[in-house]
């Protein structure tokens, strides 16, 4: 019986994340080290002047400053690693679906599969439902996405009349949202739906069915941006 491949250990995952991030953005390493070191020195300085020469307190403040520096540097590198992962797939078909698949938590619901697709141009619209309402996320040419947005909006309002619909176009041009900021944009805004309403709206829209194919390009199951350095 063949042995299952073991997942890489925590240290190996950290090292991989570091290498990917350092290669994509070499300055991120120095930024993380600089900010972490500055924070550590600041914490130790506070402890040095407040401990009044007590060696035990100085040792505790030294440990606290070291942990602060390491933790802050890891948080910064984690953010940079996530941005590097997004940068590798940005602009490719299916990138939006991959981010949705890996980013949703809690009551938020969505899928890597688009709800509207232009088979010829491969423009696609994805749907995410949460406290900000129904978010339609477009991937492709903004002008050609309008028809897809309108078709999906009509379908949504037939199933859930009055529900709030927000449109987002992912891209690097003016008026568009960069891929690494997409979920932040989705979750920004006033609360439109409660948890119970989210479930009701999601069930109604799921009942409409969806036979749209996943655009060729990114495999959502293989994309996992690092959330921890």
Distance between CA atoms of residues 81 and 55, nearest Å: 38
Going from N- to C-terminal start, the domains of the chain cover 10-89, 95-222
Q: Looking at residue 143, what is its pLDDT?
A: 87
The per-residue pLDDT for 161 is 93
What are the residue ranges in the chain where pLDDT is below 50? 1-5, 221, 226-229
Compute the half-sphere exposure of residue 202: CA atoms within 13 Å on the CB side of its CA: 16
Residue 104: CB partners within 8 Å, gap ≥ 6? 110, 128
Is pTM beyond 0.95? Reply is: no
Confidence (pLDDT) at 128: 94
């Amino acid at each position: 019986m063949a042995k299952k491949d073991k997942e890489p250990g925590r240290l190996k995952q950290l090292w991989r994340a570091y290498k990917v991030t350092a290669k994509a953005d070499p300055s991120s390493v120095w930024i993380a080290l600089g900010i972490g070191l500055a924070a550590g020195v600041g914490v130790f300085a506070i402890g040095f002047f407040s401990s009044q020469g007590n060696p035990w307190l100085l040792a505790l403040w030294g440990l606290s400053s070291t942990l602060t520096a390491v933790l802050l540097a890891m948080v910064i590198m984690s953010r940079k690693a996530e941005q590097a992962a997004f940068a590798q797939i940005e602009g490719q078909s299916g990138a939006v679906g991959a981010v949705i698949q890996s980013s949703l938590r809690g009551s938020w619901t969505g899928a890597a599969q688009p709800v509207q697709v232009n088979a010829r141009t491969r423009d696609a619209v994805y749907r995410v439902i949460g406290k900000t309402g129904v978010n339609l996320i477009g991937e492709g040419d903004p002008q050609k996405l309008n028809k897809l947005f309108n078709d999906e909006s009509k379908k949504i309002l037939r199933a859930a009349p009055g529900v709030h619909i927000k449109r987002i176009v992912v891209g690097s041009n003016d008026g568009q949202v960069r891929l690494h900021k997409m979920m932040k944009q989705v979750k920004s805004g006033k609360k439109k739906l409660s948890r119970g309403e989210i479930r009701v709206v999601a069930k109604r829209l799921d009942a409409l069915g969806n036979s749209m194919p996943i655009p060729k390009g990114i495999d959502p199951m293989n994309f996992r941006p690092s959330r921890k350095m």
